[in-house]
């Protein structure tokens, strides 16, 4: 799949730590380091890139959360893939920007 896709990931860590947001922050740091276009929302992080790039980043994000102290994670992933073209943030959100 060579086209640009949109994908979202939500990682919910199980941990003994009181502030599990710190673990979620580790995943977001990994996503930021990827260089892919991304947007953090209150419930998930959305990325734009090739399928292979995104799947690779999602795997790394999960691993850093586990390495940072999560004993388990629940991961929700959604993909928007177009057969004959790219998918972009702008086509979905431009009309809603102020």
- Has residue 98 got a pLDDT over 80? no
Q: In the predicted model, what is the mean pLDDT of residues 67-81?
A: 96
**What is the pTM (predicted TM-score) of this model?**
0.89
- 36-50, 60-74, 79-93: which has the minimum mean pLDDT? 79-93
CATH class of 4-89: alpha beta
What does pLDDT average to over the chain? 94
Contact 78, 85 (CB under 8 A): no
What pLDDT digit, counting tens, does each position of 13-32 carry?
998 877 889 999 999 999 99
Burial 19-36 (b: 16+ CB within 10 A, else e): ebeebbebbbebbeebeb
């Amino acid at each position: 799949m060579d086209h640009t896709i949109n994908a979202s990931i939500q990682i919910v860590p199980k941990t003994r730590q009181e502030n599990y947001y710190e673990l979620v922050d580790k995943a977001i740091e990994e996503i930021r380091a990827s260089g892919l276009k991304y947007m953090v929302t209150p419930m998930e992080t959305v990325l734009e890139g090739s399928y292979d790039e995104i799947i690779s980043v999602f795997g790394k994000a999960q691993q850093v959360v586990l390495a940072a102290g999560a004993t388990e994670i629940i991961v929700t992933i959604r993909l928007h893939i177009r057969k004959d073209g790219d998918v972009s943030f702008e086509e979905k959100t431009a009309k809603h920007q102020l």
